[in-house]
Chains A and B, each alone.
Chain A
Amino acid sequence: MSVAMSDSIQTKGSIGATVQAARPVIEALVGYGLLLFAAFATMAPFLWMVSTSFKADPEVFQFPPSFVPQGLVWQNYLDVIYAPDTGRQLVNSLIFALGSTLSNLVFCSLAGFALARMQFRGKTFIFALVVGLLMVPAQSQIVPVFLIVQRIPFAGGNDWMGNGGTGLLNTYWGMILPTAATPFGIFLMRQFFSRIPIEYEESARLDGARPFTIFWRIILPLARPAMAVLGVLSFQSAWNEFIWPLILTNSRDMATLQIGLQLIQSGPDARWNVVMAMATLITVPIIVVFLFAQRYVIDGAVTSGVKG
């Protein structure tokens, strides 16, 4: 596969070169061929997921697995869509994922900007702390985070010491809190902000622009590719997040789509075609977000409207 990639790079690069006329064409064909091969290898499990979501019961267990379903069983999708809680779960998932994405975009870019482009006391320490927190395993944090969310002062009937009530349990705020700013995001933004040449902000600084103005008017527009990546990754991880919505809420009304998916794939005799139908539906929003964001990833620094 790595051979495929470097070959295609060669192909692309050689288009500008003036060699014989036929060579670029052949190279382009080889390049496309290898890309197509890589694409199929990459896509096969995804295709199988979609294909299984259309299969009738017996075909699901067929070995070797079939990639083209014998018929299209839309009932699997109807079973998912008409399940009583699906609508509610979709709303909850959207609130959770969009809330988490938005707060990551805001908080991580602010913090990343400070760490990359401002001078202040304790900078090295704070950066080390952020990278250090990256390395803390989430699974050992379940009980402490639950207790902290429950003890947020003044929330959910709590007093100023955080006692007496349920804190942020069973609220969207509580669900979003553990994912609202991540070391991953801060680190990512810091790395990208630090790559922007200093000349871009120097003139603004000489004009007496405040840090926020520099951040908002100069650095952020230049970092649109990085923001797009952060947006995709945050949305995706929140959308797929299972543990915090499970632990931090108690009622059916707060369940997300991932919890719904767990419910239908529960036990050794789950109906796998229905599970795959739901899994397929759940990936659609991420693909939409990805398609939307990848334009910024690639064209972020380009102001002209040329399309690829």
Chain B
Amino acid sequence: MASRSSATATGAFNQNLGAYLFLAPALLILFLSLLLPAVATIGMSLTDVSFLRPTTFVGLDNYLRLLSDGRFQQAVGNTTYYTLGVTLPTMVLGLLAAVALNRRFPFRIAFRTIFYLPVLTSLIAAAVVWVYLYEPYSGPMNGFLVSLGLPPQPWLQSPDLAMTALIIMAVWRDFGTAMIIYLAGLQDIPEEIYEAARLDGAGRLAILRRITVPMLSSVTFYLMIILIVQSFQVFGAIYVMTGGGPLGSTETIVFQMYQTAFGYTEFGYAAAMSTVLFFVILLFSIVGTKIMRRGEA
């Protein structure tokens, strides 16, 4: 009895030790570059640290201030809307592109590369072209609407539409990344499963829905989390396009955080924003995971 338990203990110990060795280098780096700074950020959020003047402990004052900060709440609303708008379409388009380009046919490498180009395009170049696409007077987007008999829209110039316009651009920019991740995922699905389904007379849509999508669920889960995280932390693309306007309708949390920290040297208050953002992302990731699980069941 005693010897048996000690043997399993040694086995478990070896297995534990082996795993920890595998993890050690990555965890050390994450500890230095993320965990320690994150803990420091939480600490900073309880102070009025400016890195210029003497620091005092202020307790939860920064968080209380956030509760009455209308601009911050607007930014949380904007960013949430943006995230909801970007995540699902990016995954769907990425999946469809991956499935389409997973087959062998001429020029598929060219198409794959082309669909990946948006990520590689200079943000400013992309912004110029998109600003033109959305131009109310001569832009193709309104040309398209008018040809359908719909009224032209002011797009980026309207506080109600600007964020939607930016969401469309973000999906354009990101779906290529989703595509290559899905392409990698598609390689693991054995061809036999498809063969069997085809012999059973399943249509292509049925195959996509009943085989491809479920088989990719762990990849989809990854992409969903990544897209939620990245969308909530969006900053550069929006600032190049609209500078947060019109009327703050495209202002994001991270921009305010940056401005508060480096523009106003209120690092403590910015740290509180950062902490709140962390929990918002966490909440949405959990909700997203729940919805995904329910969809699978």
Say if the two chains contact directly (CB < 8 Å). yes
Least CB distance, B10 to chain A, in whole angstroms: 14
Cβ of B120 and Cβ of A186 under 8 Å apart? no
Whether B2 sits at the interface, judged by CB under 8 Å, is no
Chain B residues lying within 8 Å of A228, measured Cβ to Cβ, are 184
Q: When chains A and B are docked, how far (Å) is the Cα of A34 from the Cα of B220?
A: 25
- Which of A2, A9, A126, A306 has the most CB atoms of chain B within a 10 A radius of its CB? A9
- Known: A65-B132, A286-B120. Is A9-B187 also a contact (CB below 8 A)? no
Q: Assess whether B258 is interfacial by the CB under 8 Å rule.
A: yes
Any B CB within 8 A of the CB of A54 = no
Min CB distance, A277 to chain B, in Å?
11
Let me know if A143 and B267 touch, CB within 8 A. yes
Contact B121 A290 (CB under 8 A): no
- Confirm or deny: A119 has a beta carbon within 8 angstroms of a beta carbon on chain B: yes
Closest to B25 in A: A107
Provide the residues of chain B in CB contact with A144, threshold 8 Å: 36-37, 40-41, 44
A118 touches which of B19, B180, B277 (Cβ 8 Å): B19
Once bound together, how far apart are the Cα atoms of A15 and B98, in whole Å? 18
CB distance from A216 to the nearest CB of B (A): 11
- Taking a contact as CB atoms closer than 8 A, the residue among A8, A44, A138, A236 that contacts B100 in the complex is A8
Interface size on A, residues (CB 8 A): 108
In the complex the two chains form, what is the Cα distance from A8 to B108 in whole Å? 12
At the interface, yes or no: A35 with Cβ under 8 Å from chain B? yes
A120 interface contact, C-beta 8 A: yes
CB <8 Å contact, A301 and B254: no
Complex contact A1–B22 (CB within 8 A): no
Chain B residues within an 8 Å CB radius of A16: 198
Q: Which of A68-76, A90-98, A176-184 binds B?
A: A176-184
B111 touches A39 (CB 8 A): yes
Are B113's CB and A140's CB within 8 A?
no
Total A-B contacts with CB atoms under 8 angstroms apart = 281
Partner of A275 from the list B124, B172, B187, B254 (CB cut-off 8 Å) is: B124
Tally of B interface residues using CB under 8 Å: 96
Partner of A143, one of B51, B181, B187, B207: B51
* Of A78-86, A192-200, A249-257, the one touching chain B: A192-200
Are A297 and B187 touching (Cβ within 8 A)?
yes
Given A2-B92, A211-B22, does the pair A225, B187 have CB atoms closer than 8 Å? yes
Q: Which residues of B lie under 8 Å from residue A203 when comparing CB positions?
A: none
Bound: A143/B265 CA distance, A: 12
- Grouping DSSP codes into helix (H, G, I), strand (E, B) and loop, the B interface class, with mixed when no group exceeds half, is helix
CB contacts (< 8 Å) of B185 on chain A: these are 192, 195, 225
Minimal Cβ-Cβ distance residue in A for B173: A45
Give B247 Cβ to nearest chain A Cβ, in Å.
23
Candidates A14, A110, A233; contact of B204 at CB < 8 Å: A14
Within 8 A of A (CB), among B54-79: none
Query: Per-residue CB proximity of A279-293 to B under 8 Å, as 1/0?
Result: 110110011001100
The answer for the CA separation of A70 and B51 in the assembled complex, in Å, is 52
**In the assembled complex, A21 has its CB within 8 A of some CB on chain B:** no
> A52-75, CB under 8 A of B: which get 1 and which 0?
100000000001110000000000
Interface: A134 (CB within 8 A)? yes
Among B22, B36, B282, max chain A CB count under 10 A is at B22
Q: Counting CB contacts under 8 A, is A266 at the interface?
A: no
CB distance from B83 to the nearest CB of A (A): 12
With an 8 A cutoff between CB atoms, is A169 at the interface? Answer: no
CB distance from A130 to the nearest CB of B (A): 7
In the complex, the 3 A-B pairs of residues with the closest C-beta atoms, listed nearest first: A5-B96, A49-B125, A144-B37
Residues of B within 8 A of A (CB): 12, 15-16, 18-20, 22-23, 25-27, 29-30, 32-38, 40-41, 44, 51, 92-93, 96-97, 99-100, 102-105, 108-109, 111-122, 124-126, 128-130, 132, 135, 138, 172, 176-177, 180-181, 183-185, 187-188, 198, 204-205, 207-208, 218-219, 221-222, 225-226, 229, 233, 235, 254, 257-258, 261-262, 267, 270-271, 273-274, 277-278, 281-282, 285
Q: Apart from A45-B121, A291-B113, list 5 A-B contacts with CB within 8 A.
A: A107-B26, A110-B25, A126-B27, A184-B226, A276-B122
8 A-B residue pairs with Cβ-Cβ distance under 8 Å, sorted by A, are A35-B111, A46-B121, A114-B19, A141-B41, A148-B33, A177-B32, A181-B29, A291-B113
